[in-house]
Amino acid sequence: MADLDWDFAFDVDHLDEETSRQPKRAPKTSRSRSKSVAPAQDRDGDVEIQDDFDIGAERDDGGGRGFNLGILGEEVDDGGEESLVQELFRHWLNERHSPDILPINEVLLAGLLDRIRKQTSDVQLLRSDPNSSEDEHFRIMLVQTEVERLKFVIRSYMRTRLFKVEKYAQFITSHPEVHDKLSKAELEHAQRYTQTLEAHFTNSVLQSLPPEQQSLNEDMVFMPPMIPEPDKNRPVFAHARRNCPPVRLPDGSMIEMEKGQISLLSYSVIEQMLLRGEVELV
Amino acid sequence: MALPGPLRTTITPPELELVASEQLVEIIPLVAMERTAFISGAYGPLRPPLKCKVPLWMATNLKMKKKCHIIPPVWLNTDYLQDRFNEETTKEEFSRLPFRFMEISKVLLDVASDDFQNPDKLRSLLKDIREARQAKSREGISKLDHSALDLPNLCAMEINEIRPFFVRAMGVITQLVREPEAGQAMEP
């Protein structure tokens, strides 16, 4: 684990601010609730972490809802919806494996960051209480471990996106249809990055070239395009989460992925299914 | 700030371990703990000696502090793995094993080898299975073509292992198939 723990300059709190601008969700209430509940908890000293988390408790049916593992290890689909954490892991892995930048799920991130903030503030509250027992320290440690795991995944997710945003900055800036996939901050970053890059190229080299060679987007025969674009033909490993409708392969034949099937296919073939959540990348 | 270079093309084994650590395992706790809400769900209460299901990361954490025993998953015992190994060597296809069996078995054998009856035998079986399967995935390269390749029963770690080569090879094959078509289209 230690090797994974890079020193991230990317601050999750900053991400918070970005996402909390999103209008649709009710974190404010939960936050203010946690504040008002907190002192009371502090006084009676034993209710703390557990019954505060209505969502966690409601969702759960005895064993938590990790990735359930059947006897043969197929991930059992218990019919219920996946938890926030499972959804985060799925989005993270999809983003890591996809050649193109995927639409950001701001509602999911906002929800998770809210939970993280809440767990953290509860932990701090408990820590500051001198009367907490050994048993509580131990629970605090577990809660913190989980928070750190999730922060790692969220950071890695954002950094993966950032890498793609920078790599395809010019492409993104010049294609408005891609803008919806990015958060406001990501889009601003892409635009600023493009400007800076172009200014730098112009100042350092391009202005000394003849005018016809100054463009950053020349169509040269036998040369790859100057603006990198996501390679949608790159093959990916797709795992069908449910039975999928048939799709056409580049050679014209049809393929129908059954639930649980894993195939190596060109990204363009499964793109729509991936966006609909029917397949995930592994 | 952006993702470091080596991580851009594929995911790393420690990261796969992180993913696998979300899966649930059964433990026999040695300490009591109230039911506690975590972000992924509520776990507990821990009441020794009653069994309880917790995520693998929690089990490893508790185990390292000697606060629990881990009950091995049903597939992680010598009989079951011996059967899979026999299948692996006699049949052509991959045998059915949990998608993340490599990560889980590694984590469990690392931290909780004293909870297994015969950890050394298990390790050697797992290694044999891995080698038999590796040989098969290498043969699988010959089936690679430009459109689609089914990979039944392949596990996460194996996919990750073959990914760089398969992705690149398939990219090259696709290019080779496409180019003559483009050439033909140009000629009347």
CATH number at residue A49: 1.20.58
Which pTM value belongs to this model?
0.80
Span A265-274, pLDDT tens digits: 999 999 999 9
Residues A260 and A162 in one domain: no
Question: Is B184 within 8 Å of chain A by CB?
Answer: no
Backbone conformation region of residue A65, classed left if phi is above 0, alpha if psi is from -120 to 50, else beta = beta
Q: Which residues of A touch B34 (CB under 8 A)?
A: 50, 139
- Domains delineated in chain B: 5-21+73-186 (1.20.58.1020)
Could you tell me the pLDDT band of residue A63, with boundaries at 50, 70 and 90? Answer: very low
Residues A192 and A276 in one domain: no
Residues A152 and A264 in one domain: no
Q: Which residue of A has its CA nearest to B53?
A: A63
Q: What are residue B87's phi and psi, to 5 degrees?
A: -60, -45
Residues A124 and A179 in one domain: no
Residues A85 and A176 in one domain: no
Q: Is residue A57 part of a domain?
A: yes
Q: How many helices (H) and strands (E) does chain B have?
A: 6, 6
Amino acid at B123: R
What residue has token string 């000394």?
Answer: A208
Decide if B38 and A56 are in contact by the 8 Å CB cutoff: yes
Pair A146, B38: CB distance under 8 Å: yes
Average pLDDT over residues B162-177: 88
Question: Is B182 within 8 Å of chain A by CB?
Answer: no
Pair A143, A119: CB distance under 8 Å: yes
Note the helical H segments in A168-223: 169-174, 184-204
Give helix B56-64 / helix A134-167 axis angle, nearest 10°. 130
Give pLDDT, residue A30. Answer: 38
Question: Is B41 within 8 Å of chain A by CB?
Answer: yes
- Residue with the larger pLDDT of the pair B86 and B8: B86
Residues A143 and A202 in one domain: no
Percentage with pLDDT > 90 across chain A: 47
Quote ipTM for the complex. Answer: 0.90
SS3 labels along A143-169: HHHHHHHHHHHHHHHHHHHHHHHHHCH
Residues A194 and A265 in one domain: no
